[in-house]
Structure 1
Amino acid sequence: MTGDRPAPGTSSTGGTAAVPGTLAELTTFHLGGPLPDLTVAHTAEDLEDFGRAHPLDPSAHGDPAVLFIGGGSNILAGDSGFAGPACLVATRGIQESAHGTRTLVTAQAGEVWDEFVAWTLDHGLSGLEALSGIPGTVGAAPVQNIGAYGCEVAELIESVRVFDRVAGQAQRLPAERLQFSYRNSLLKRAAAEFGEPRYIVLEVCFALERGRESAPVRYGQLAAELEVAIGQTADTAAVRTAVLHLRASKGMVLDPADHDTWSAGSFFTNPIVARDFVLPDGAPSYPVHDPLTGVVDPQVQKTSAAWLIDHAGFAKGYGLPRADGGPPAASLSTKHTLALTNRGAARTADLLELARRIQAGVHERFGIVLVPEPNLVGCSLDSEG
């Protein structure tokens, strides 16, 4: 088990730190109002206790009664905050064990994702290197089925241990039961069904290869950065360095001094449309693979949300004009058209207004509805305010 890093809620000297009072303190957008009822879970047992104290009624639908926060990198929270019970997932710990030709690595949900990826490479394991630099926690990775540079986390997950708030007990879900698809999973679908998480992720088990040779490089931009052909492998450390460089060039590596990173990364998912949908001239088309089997779905295709945003007239740095003539409070990143950013003094309402403008513009121009990727807490794109 690891135990050399202080968890959120503790200081580096072992003392107790102040519990954050607002969502703005806990989200990478630096936005969101008060959190008057926040619990910090330092162990998996703490998480289970919170789940038992706040069971989920299967018949209840509507506004979420509880909120779970990990790294805060996938949350756009309302200016009014969240009045109900909230839980900050601050669990830590990593274990590894041999399993045939692979190594099983189990990480607690509160582990910082990029620190975990670095840990696996430092311990001579390969598979996660293309997912370097993604903000957030290990527990959020399977919910969203995070992915980048041709790799999805679903390909490496062996199982996820969760606490089911409906059943009131913990259980282990193997990968085949998690129903992974592009930026989606059983965990995310269940949360959408009930309006809040049914399953609290306690830990995630990954099946990784031992060695310092990467998985085959699948993404053209990464292959060019590494100077290898698509399908070739490279040194895992070199892949991590290249990915971090590419992400930083797009403002996708967190930096408190860079407002281009005051975001949730990609705000809209890449649209998946019918195979016979006629894409605009020049728009890229990608196959959609089943993340577990690799089989291509012949009925659909995926295109680029960034391309659609750019070609609908929303350039890098685009923001809505302010009445006083000052610079926009919220804008597209100056490095990448897929990130909506807080320029330092924005309110959540400013981000929502910008998102609605872009969503409407893309739909009017191309007939495609962009779907937001972050979880919207106490706010909505469907209504003003």
Structure 2
Amino acid sequence: MVMRLSDVTTLRIGGPVDTFIEGSLEDILPKIEGDLLVLGGGSNILAADEGFSGTVVRDSSREVAELGGSQFRVDAGVVWDDFVAYSVDRDLSGLESLSGIPGSVGAAPVQNIGAYGADVAATVVAVRAWDRDINEAVRLSRADLKMAYRDSILKRSARSQKWGPTGRWVILSVDFELVHSAYGFVRYAELAKKLDVPVGGQAKISDIRDAVLGLRRSKGMVLDQTDHDTWSAGSFFTNPVVTRAPDGAPAFQTDGGIKVSAAWLIEQAGFPKGFSMGGQVALSSRHSLAITNRGGGTAHEVLEMARRIRSRVKELYSIELQPEPIFVGCQL
């Protein structure tokens, strides 16, 4: 049976792969030459309709090890939300606002995943990674990773044609440091409102997790095989950081400038929730940042819509939206 990337990605788009291997990364990686794509949950990927001519590897490692205190070493193949649930069940705060994000632990520092006022960089101590340049395992500290908004040195290396979609370093495990507490801080206005606490206030981490999952479900951002609004790669564009926000745009100050809502820019540019260009791809009916597959959609259609949105936003606001997913065999 031919493996297709549409079978292993949440967008359910992508053509055949030459080779598919599932197992321990440390056993597999030393033997692989050529183009490589390491898959976790396949949740942040747009793959070409023509497929991928290299090797696709899915990590089977699933161990969570206690290092002492509140530090944990987690294999890259562990499902991200399973580890979040593990931490919340043990009254360990730090990850609760990141509940419901699809994918694996290994992908978390690559993307520096974040939501509802939190990002994973705050809890990552270091990673153990396979360096494809020297063909051996290395340790990279949080400082080495250079994590920024939805970015890291790991993700930046994947933009090089030399390394392909997975990049130079392949995460083997991640060391986290959490906080022994049943309470966590609420830093996002929408979440604070749902929990009925002030922004910057505290709530039980179990309540924060439940609230985040509820908010994500309401936006079609929790995977559901029967709901086409969830057939996406998550948010397709990052929120741009600018020196001056457009009039009326939801925005807030960050260290690097003013972060503007990409969803607002998209909707103001004439692309409301549910927008379609007539094919099998449309914006989610609940979340204008998600480009969704309505069944039988293609990468060509996704790219066509993304280019149209990007072009119109740039024309109106002189802001060029940056894509969040990893592109496999295609470009925006």
1:20 offset after TM fit, Å?
A: 7.1
| CA offset digits 1:290-326 (Å, max 9, x no partner) | xxxxxx34xx2211110100100100000102xxxxx
Matches within 5 A, 1:120-199: 120-193=87-160, 194-196=162-164, 197-199=167-169
Cα deviations by residue, 1:159-210 (Å, 9 ceiling, x for unpaired): 1110101011111111111111101111111222344211010001110011
Tell me the SS of whatever aligns to 2:324.
Answer: coil
Whole-angstrom distance in 2 between the partners of 1:31 and 1:315: 23
Q: Is the 8 A contact 1:179 1:185 kept in 2?
A: yes
The answer to whether residue 212 in structure 2 is matched with residue 212 in structure 1 is no
CA distance in 2, matches of 1:158, 1:241: 26
CA contact (8 A) 1:55 1:166 kept: no
Q: CA deviation at 1:365?
A: 1.2
Write the distance in 1 (CA, Å) between the matches of 2:109 and 2:198: 29
Cα distance between partner residues in 2 of 1:359 and 1:164: 34
* Equivalent residue for 1:80, pick from 43, 50, 70: 50
Question: Structure 2 residue aligned with 1:343, among 284, 289, 294?
Answer: 294
Distance in 2, Cα, partners of 1:304 & 1:93: 37
The residue number in structure 2 matching 1:331 is 282
Q: Where in structure 2 are there 5+ consecutive unaligned residues?
A: none
Provide the residue aligned with 1:259 in structure 2.
Answer: 228
Say whether 1:50 aligns with 2:50. Answer: no
Q: How many angstroms does 1:90 deviate by?
A: 2.3
Distance 1:151 1:355 in 2: 26
For residues 370-385 of structure 1, the aligned pairs below 5 Å read 370-381=321-332
SS at match of 2:312: helix
Q: Secondary structure in 2 aligned to 1:162?
A: strand
TM-score (norm 2): 0.96
Q: Specify which of 171, 175, 186 is matched with residue 201 of structure 1.
A: 171
Post-superposition Cα deviations, 1:126-154, rounded to whole Å, max 9, x if no partner, equal 11000000011000000000000000100
Q: State whether structure 2 residue 250 is matched by structure 1 residue 284.
A: yes
Shift of 1:349: 1.1
Amino acid in structure 1 at the alignment position of 2:182: R
Residue identity over aligned pairs, in percent, reads: 48
Q: Kindly indicate whether residue 312 of structure 2 is the aligned counterpart of residue 361 of structure 1.
A: yes
Shift of 1:55: 5.4
Which residue identity lines up with residue 158 of structure 2 in the other structure?
A
**In the alignment, what sits opposite 2:264?**
307
Q: Supply the distance in 1 between the matched residues of 2:39 and 2:118 (Cα, whole angstroms).
A: 25
Alignment of 1:114-125 (within 5 A): 114-125=81-92
* Corresponding residue of 1:62: none
SS of equivalent residue, structure 1 residue 286: strand
Aligned to 1:293: none
Q: Which SS does the other structure have where 2:14 is aligned? A: coil
Contact 1:159 1:172 in 2 (8 A): yes
State the 1:115 CA deviation.
1.0
How many pairs were matched up?
329
Offset at residue 343 of structure 1 (A): 0.4
On the 8 A contact 1:218/1:231 being kept in 2, the answer is yes
1:272 and 2:241 are equivalent in the alignment: yes
> CA shift at 1:371, angstroms?
0.9
CA contact 2:98–2:118 (8 Å) conserved in 1: yes
Query: How far apart are residue 97 of structure 1 and its match?
Result: 2.9
2:216 maps to which of 222, 243, 247: 247
Which residue of structure 1 lines up, in the alignment, with residue 75 of structure 2? 108
Deviation of residue 121 (structure 1)? Answer: 1.0
**Conserved? CA contact 1:20–1:26, under 8 Å:** no
TM-score, L = length of structure 1? 0.83
Aligned to 1:12: none
Structure 2 contact 2–16 (Cα < 8 Å) conserved: no
Contact 2:186/2:202 (<8 A) preserved: yes
Q: Secondary structure, in 3 states, of the residue corresponding to 2:246?
A: coil
> Which residue identity does 1:248 align to in structure 2?
R
Aligned to 2:61: 91
User: 2:200 is matched with which residue?
Assistant: 231
Instruction: Give the residue type in structure 2 aligned to 1:87.
Output: V
1:320 correspondence with 2:284: no
